[in-house]
Structure 1
C-alpha cells in the first residue's frame, strides 16, 4: 500500500502543474495573439499580372482608308479592288520590349459628295469640304487617290497633307498593270504618308527610352527625346518680361491679348493631352548671369552658345513659379537688354547670329532677347517708351512651346506639300503624333513603375500595403491593359486616356506616404525591442520546464519501492 504524499511533495506537484499551465497558456494563447496583433497588414496585389507587364509587347494599329477618285482606276480594276488589307512590321528593341507597327487598310471609291469636294479649285477648300463630310477619329488616316489630270495639286507635288487627318495622292493611271502591282506601288506611298502623319519607329523607340539602352538612339533622336517634357496630367506656362534697366526702358507688352490670340487656340487643341494654365509677370532689375561680349566691327554685344547655359540659373531664382507648382512649369522669358548692352545678339556654335535671337533649354523653357530700336543714334531721352511687337515674340514662343511639348518637325520628300496649321498652331495629325508617343510613353512608365513597386514590396516584407495602395495598383494594371487593347484595336484617343489613368494611379501607389521605408523597423531593431519584453518572462518558464523534464527522467530511472 502506497504511503500518503507529504506536504512538500504536494507543493512540488502543484508548482510543476502551474509551470506547465503557464507555458501552455503562453504557447497556445500568448504567442498566437502576439503574432496576430503585431503582423504587418499587406493587402493582396496582382503580382502575376505585373510580372506579365514587365515583358512589353506593343501592337500599334493605324486604321487607313484609301479612297479612289474618278479616273484613277479602270472599270476592270474597280471590280478587283480588295475590301481590306493588313500590313505589319515587327521591331524588337530588347528581350523585354518590342512593338508591332500595323496598318489596317480599307479601300473604297469616292461618293458623289466627295467628288464634289475634290472638284473645288483650291487644296484648302477641298480639304475643308472633305472635313465636313468625315472628320475622322484620332489616329485614323484618309488617303484620297486622285488622277494625274487633276488640277488640285501644284506642279511638282505628288502628295498633299492637309490640316486634318487626310492626304491627297496623285496617281498616274496604270490601265495595263494588274491590280496587285498597282496596290504594291501605292502601298509604298501609303507607308511614307502614315509615318509622316502617325508615328515612326524612331518616335516609338524614344517613347520607350526608359526600357531600352541609350545605345539604341541616334544622336538626333536622343536629343529630341531629352528636349521635350515628360508626359504629365498638367502643365503651367509662365511668360516673364525681364526689364533689367527700368530707368532707361518703359516697357509695354499686351501679353493677355497676345496669349489669347496665339497661345490659347494652340492649348485648346491640346486639351486631350493635358490641362494647361497660363500666367505672366514682369521682373525688374533681373539681369543675365553673364556679361555680353562687345564687337567693335558691328558695334553690338553678343552672347555665344557656350555662355547660354550660364544665363538661366541667376534668372531662375527670380521666377519663383516652379516651387509652388504641382505640375511642370514651362518658362518663357522676354529679355530687353539695358541700354549699355544694346543691341544684344545671340550666336550659334558656328558664330552666326540666330535669326530669332532666342534659344531654348530642354525641359525648362525658352529665352528671347528683344532689342529696342532707338530712333536716333544719339543718346535718347530716358525712359524710352517701348511697345513690344507681340506678333514677333509669340511666333518665337509658340515654336519653342511646340518643341518642348514634343511636337517635332516632320521630314518629308521634296514632292510632298504640308499645309500650315494656321491660327491653331497645330494640325490634327500632329496632335495624333503627339498622342501616339505620349500613350506609348505612359504605358512604358507605368510598367516600369509597377514592376519596381512589386519588387520593393516583395523585398521588404514589413511594409504595410493598405487597401488604398492596393486599389490604385489594381486600377493601374487594369487601365494599362485597356490601353494596350485599345492601341491594338486602333482607338488612339481611348488608349491615351486609359494610359493617363494608369500613370496617375501607378504614381499615387508608388509615392503613397505609407510606403516610406523609414516608417518601419528592420528585423534587428525588432529583436532589440521584443527581447527585453519577453526574456524576463520566458527564462523562468523555460527553467521550470527544464527542471520538470529532468525530474521526470530521473524518476523513470529509479526502481519502484513496494512494502
Structure 2
C-alpha cells in the first residue's frame, strides 16, 4: 500500500490535534481543581471547641477577675437618716434656760412669786423654742444645808453649771423699787424690792413679778434674735415655725454674720508688729498678752482652743495699690482714706501666712508709723483701727507723747492696741453686744454655736448623701461610714442635751459631730475619684482590650454564619 503524500499526511494529523484539544474543554474552571478537600468532622469540632474555649476563658475567668480587681467598694451609708437630719426632720432645737431665783421669803410665797412671774414671762415670750424656766434656789435664809440645791417645785434638781442666770432678791427700805443690777463678771441679777411688793397667795399678779419678767425678756432679747436668725437661715422646716424679725434687725444680724469667723475647734492668733523704719524693733508682747488677752482667751476656751505666735517686721512699706498718707493742715494729722484701708496690708511683702497649723489664722497687726507721718488717722472717722471681716484687725499706734521713736514698746504702750484687739476678737467670734454681763454673753455664744454646729453637721450629712447617690463611681471606704454613724450619734446627743438645757454638753457633742462630718465628706480617696469619670476608663481600657476582642468576635461571627448557612 502506497504511503500518503505530504498533503494527505497533514490532513490526517488534524483530527488527532482536534481530539487532543477537545480533552481540555474551555468550559472547565481552573479553581475547581484548587478547592481544598472537605473538612473532616473532627477538625471542624476542634476549631469550634478552640473558639469556645477562648470565650469561656474570657467570660468566666477573665471578666470576673477584671470586675473584681476594678470594682469600687462602697460602704453602706444610712442615706435616709442623713437626709432626714439635713431636712430638719429629726431634731427640733429648743433652748430651755434655767433661771434660779433666790428669795428670802417663805417657801409658799416664793413658789407663788415664781408662778406669777412665769405666767407673765410666758405672755410676753413670742419664740416658743427659747423659753425661760424659773426655779427656786434654796438660800441660806431658808436652809442651813451646806450645798445649794436648785428646784422648780416639782422635785427636779439641776446642776449649777446648767443654770443660765441666778436672780437674787434683796429687800430694801429706801430707793426706787423694784430695780435691778446685773453683775458684769458673774451671771447674777440683783433685784431690789420692797417687802410689800411680794404678791400674796390670793393675788394673780404683782409689780415685782411683771418687773422680773420684763427684765429677763430684755436680758435675753438679743439671744432670741440671734437664734431666730440662725433658724431662719437653716432650713424651711425650721423657718416656717418661728417668728419673723424686723428688717432692721435682720439686716444687722446679717451684717454681723458676714464678719464672724467660720467655726473651728482651734484658731491660730498671730500678733505682728510692722514699722516703716528700724524702730521700734522689740515689744513686750508676752506681758501684754498675759495681761490683756489671756483672760479673754480663757473665757473662750469652752468654745474653741487657741495658739498664739508673734513677729516683728522692720522697713514695712505700704502697698503700692493705695494712696500715700496725706497731711491735713487743719487737723495737723496725717490721714488715710477709707477706700484705701482694704489695701493697707501689703500682702506681697509683709510675712502674713494665711494658714498656720490645722486651724484658721486670725491676724492682728500693730502698725507704728514713722515720726514724720505721725499721728496717722482715718479721715472719715478720725479713728486709728479697723476690722477686716473673717481675717483679723489692724491698729495704728501713734506715739505722740514720746520725743523720739522708742526702740522697744513696753506693755503699757501696748495697752490701747491690746484693748482694740480684744474688741476685734470679740466681734470676729460673734459675741453678742448685750447684756452687760460677760458670762451671759459667753453662754449666749455657747448656745448659738451649738445650734449652728448642729445645722452645719446636718447639712454636711445631706451633701454627703447626695454625693453618694449622684456619683456611683466614687469609692466609699468603711471609715466614711464609721464617721457618718459617729456624726449621727453626736448629733442626737447634742439635740438631747439642748432639749435638757445642758448647753455645755450640747456644744461638746456638736463640735464632735462637725469634726466627724467634715472628716467623712472630705475623705481623700473619695474626693480624688470624683475627678476620674467613666470616659477616662474607656480611654484606658480600649487600646488594651481592642486587639484582643476583635479576633474573638470575628471568629465567633464566622462560625455562627457557617452554622446558619449549613442549617
Tell me if both proteins adopt one fold, taking TM over 0.5 as the criterion.
yes
Q: Provide, for residues 223-279 of structure 1, a one-character-per-residue CA deviation record: whole Å limited to 9, x for no partner.
A: 111122111111111222222122xx4465321111111111221222221111122
- Pair member with larger Rg: 2
- After TM superposition, the structure 1 = structure 2 runs for residues 9-158 of structure 1, keeping only pairs within 5 Å, are 9-56=41-88, 57-67=91-101, 69-70=103-104, 75=109, 78=112, 81=115, 101-103=129-131, 105-108=133-136, 110-112=138-140, 136-138=160-162, 140-147=164-171, 149=172, 157-158=179-180
Correspondence 1:533 to 2:544: yes
* Residues 284 and 251 (structure 1), Cα distance of their counterparts in 2 relative to 1, 3 Å cut: closer
1:484 matched to which residue of 2?
495
In the alignment, what sits opposite 2:340? 307
Alignment map for 1:260-275 (pairs within 5 Å): 260-275=290-305
- Which sections of structure 1, spanning at least 5 residues, go unmatched? 1-5, 92-98, 117-133, 412-417, 420-426, 557-563
Deviations 1:324-347 (A, max 9, x none): 333222222222211111122224
CA spacing shift, 1:150–1:143, aligned 2, 3 Å: farther
Structure 1 match to 2:14: none
| Alpha-carbon displacement from aligned partner over 1:95-146 (angstroms, at most 9, x marks no partner) | xxxx962426243364325799xxxxxxxxxxxxxxxxx9821563333444
Higher relative contact order (CA 8 A, sep 6+): 1
TM-score by length of 1: 0.77
Q: How does 1:283-362 map to 2 (within 5 A)?
A: 283-289=313-319, 290-312=323-345, 314=346, 317-347=349-379, 351-354=380-383, 357-362=384-389
C-alpha separation in 2, matches of 1:276 and 1:42? 38
After the TM superposition, which residues 396-407 of structure 1 pair with which residues of structure 2 at under 5 Å, given as runs?
396-407=420-431
- Which of the two has greater strand per residue? 1
Over 3 Å counting, the alpha-carbon distance change for 1:331 and 1:209 in structure 2 is farther
Question: Cα gap change, 1:409/1:265 in structure 2, threshold over 3 Å: closer, same or farther?
Answer: same
Superposition CA RMSD, Å = 3.9
Instruction: Give deviations 1:163-200, integer Å, cap 9, x for gaps.
Output: 3333234457264685543567754443333445xx22
Cα separation, 2, equivalents of 1:472 and 1:458: 18
Q: Select the residue among 373, 376, 383 that pairs with 2:400.
A: 373
In 1, Cα distance between equivalents of 2:275 and 2:142: 55
Give the distance between the partners of 1:48 and 1:108, measured in 2 at CA: 44
What is the deviation of 1:221? 0.9
1:272–1:555 Cα change, 3 Å = same
Q: Structure 1 residues 226 and 12, CA, compared in 2 at 3 Å: closer, same or farther?
A: same
Corresponding position of 1:192: 218
> 1:298: Cα distance to partner?
2.3
CA distance in 1, matches of 2:164, 2:404: 60
Partner of 2:151: none
1:300 to partner: Cα distance = 1.5
**Count of residue correspondences:** 500
Name stretches of at least 5 consecutive residues in structure 2 with no aligned partner. 1-37, 145-157, 240-244
Cα distance per residue 1:38-71 (max 9 Å; x no partner) = 1111111221111011112432222323425135
- Counterpart selection for 2:190 from 168, 172, 184: 168
C-alpha distance in 1 between matches for 2:545 and 2:228: 59
- Say if 1:58 and 1:100, in contact at 8 Å, map to a contact too: no
Q: Could you say if the C-alpha distance between residues 239 and 517 of structure 1 is closer, same or farther in structure 2, counting changes exceeding 3 Å?
A: closer
The alignment status of 1:205 with 2:232, answered yes or no, reads no
Structure 1 consecutive aligned stretches of length 4 or more whose deviation exceeds 6 Å? 82-86, 88-91, 153-156, 212-217, 381-386
